Structure 1
Amino acid sequence: MGDIEGLHHVGHVVHDMDAAAERYRRLGFAVSPPAYPVLPGEGPCGVANAHVYFLRGFVELVAVIDPGRTPSGARPLPLRVPEERLPGLRAAVRATTGSIAAFLRRFQGLHIAIADTPDIDAVAARLTAAGVAHGGVHAVQRPVETAAGTAMEPARYLEVSAPGLPPGRVPEGRVGFAENAPVEGLRGTDHPNGATGLAGCVLCVADRELPGVRERYGAYFGEPREGRADVTLVAASALGALLPGERPAALPAFVAFTVEVRDITATERLLRAHGVPAARTGAGEVFVPSAAALGAAIVFRQEP
């Protein structure tokens, strides 16, 4: 489908933002300072986010804020709206916090997969025509680290919904689309492990559910193809062949994501030097098991 250009980002929901940032740095990633929202006249609230940026896509680290203990080096992001809109904003923050807390109760790991699109209105129209429920297109601003400092960049997003679940939720977590303009002077994309881009993620499902999930994702993203949203579907019985030793924490669940690197030999050497266990996928690629990466296996692939 021509309205998708790969993965925009994946979201890794964690118990402790400080511990997650430290673990990702040990894995050789550069991690942005976390940020958290502040409502007018109130203290920290909602969830804190930190990012691992690539030239193509990013990984978002997400943790529920403890008002009595914000993450180290975290930046407050004051939310400013007219007084009459404040109740709605509070409700939105509560809903987001509740959703992330529910993901975390399920397991610590990947719960979010968002595809990149140059035309989110076309995506919305296509999904509606296909009978896929969604919450419509929303406009937000997101903090981005640039050479000139932190910039609030406009973005638009859409979340897919499933029957019987809260809006914006499907059984495996949060799936959707995002549209935003390229950011000039993006900082934080130079990673010691040589990572250059987000290449895909893996969704594990019960064997009997595989045909239905395949049909569902076909409606979302179309057939997996190079340059498109690469969500690899795998039956639970086949996960061990794809990622030896891995078992899903729940079903269905996102169990891994893949990043491309400049030099896979150098990446593996860095991981071992940092005491990080590195194994081989069924296809011979390097991966860090989920037990060593806070519930999400990370596959490292030599870039073309």
Structure 2
Amino acid sequence: MGLHHVGHVVGDMEGAARRYRQLGFTVAPPAYPVLPGVEQPFGVANAHVYLAGGFVELVAVLDGVPGEARPIPLRVPDDKLPGLVSAIRAASAAIAGFLERFQGLHIVIAGTSDLDAVAARLSADGVGHGGVHAIQRPVETAAGTAMEPARYLEISGPPPEGRIGFAENDPDSAAVAAEHANGATGLVECVLCVADREVGAARRRFDGWAGVRIVPASALPGLLPGERPPALPAFVAYAVSVGDLAATERFLRGNGVPVAATGSGEIFVPAEAALGTAIVFRQG
């Protein structure tokens, strides 16, 4: 399977939602976790851009509650709650560290239809992970927002590239992709930029991952002219498919968004104009 979602870590959730809407994305209201029976939020707030087969997640460490945010009570068995709370707090600390490193793309989660098999394979290969966690996630359906079960695991570390892991959705999910003014239809790829000498190691780490393109730093200007990695290694871009690339470009330029051409003739919004991560638009 391909990418489940990518996570764009931002310093200002409300400002990020405004920017994404200027880019033509439909952004769901942000959500934040609360403990059962306790209204005090903790962890991080996130907002989703729903696409076919995946989504882009805007993530910010909670500093107060964003005005349009929704509380999401954690609904898990009592014996699983302490582990999930611990995982959320650890994730919050990691997100804060990512933001100190740079604002941009730090989270890449691959989709799988058999998370238990993935966990067993990782353990057999000696790859540390935090175990499988069951959660409820908000999704957009034809009838409105609904909570659906999902499961995930994260690679321990965190790894040098950021927060990576795997997720498994409910096979009977009723989630539907949102309509986006920029014509975006699906999440298709993310770009990991590494030092030239580290390309082989990175390819081994991501062997079998669909949707992750590994690019040596020396080749990034040819792929995304004008872009420079904020650090190495770093996820520097993600790509979405669109139905009509020319129409997408007209929309972006009409909204005052700078657009550049990739080395392969696609278009992208430079990282400087997209809160630290380049966004590539690809003809679907």
TM more than 0.5: yes
CA deviation profile, 1:257-276 (whole Å, cap 9, x unmatched): 00000000000000000000
Which residue in the other structure is 1:63 paired with?
60
Which residue in the other structure is 2:101 paired with?
106
Q: Percent identity?
A: 68
Aligned-partner Cα distance in 2 for 1:149–1:234: 39
Provide the aligned C-alpha RMSD in A: 2.0
**Residues 255, 139 of structure 1: alpha-carbon distance in 2 compared, 3 angstrom cutoff:** same
Aligned-partner Cα distance in 2 for 1:241–1:32: 34
Which residue in the other structure is 1:36 paired with?
32
- Asked if the contact 1:56–1:196 (Cα under 8 Å) also holds between the matched residues in 2, the reply is no
TM-superposed CA distance for 1:287, in Å, is: 0.4
2:175 corresponds to which of 172, 183, 186: 186
Q: TM-score, normalised by structure 1?
A: 0.87
Structure 2 SS opposite 1:268: helix
Q: TM-score, normalised by structure 2?
A: 0.93
Is 2:202 the partner of 1:205?
no
- Asked if the contact 2:43–2:88 (Cα under 8 Å) also holds between the matched residues in 1, the reply is yes
CA deviation profile, 1:202-239 (whole Å, cap 9, x unmatched): 00011111111111111xx25xxxxxx21100111111
**Residues 87, 10 of structure 1: alpha-carbon distance in 2 compared, 3 angstrom cutoff:** closer
TM-superposed CA distance for 1:200, in Å, is: 0.5
Aligned-partner Cα distance in 1 for 2:277–2:256: 18
For 1:281, give the aligned amino acid.
Answer: T
**Residues 81, 299 of structure 1: alpha-carbon distance in 2 compared, 3 angstrom cutoff:** closer
TM-superposed CA distance for 1:282, in Å, is: 0.7
Which residue in the other structure is 2:121 paired with?
126
Instruction: Structure 2: state its 5+ residue gaps.
Output: none
Aligned-partner Cα distance in 2 for 1:135–1:106: 23
- Asked if the contact 2:259–2:267 (Cα under 8 Å) also holds between the matched residues in 1, the reply is yes
Provide runs of 4+ in structure 1 moved above 6 Å.
81-86
Is 2:70 the partner of 1:75?
yes
Aligned-partner Cα distance in 1 for 2:70–2:125: 41
**Residues 277, 125 of structure 1: alpha-carbon distance in 2 compared, 3 angstrom cutoff:** same
For 1:7, give the aligned amino acid.
Answer: L
For 2:212, give the aligned amino acid.
Answer: V
Aligned-partner Cα distance in 1 for 2:11–2:137: 22
For 2:280, give the aligned amino acid.
Answer: V
How many aligned residue pairs are there? 283
Which residue in the other structure is 2:9 paired with?
13
- Asked if the contact 1:202–1:257 (Cα under 8 Å) also holds between the matched residues in 2, the reply is yes
2:235 corresponds to which of 246, 254, 258: 254
TM-superposed CA distance for 1:10, in Å, is: 0.3
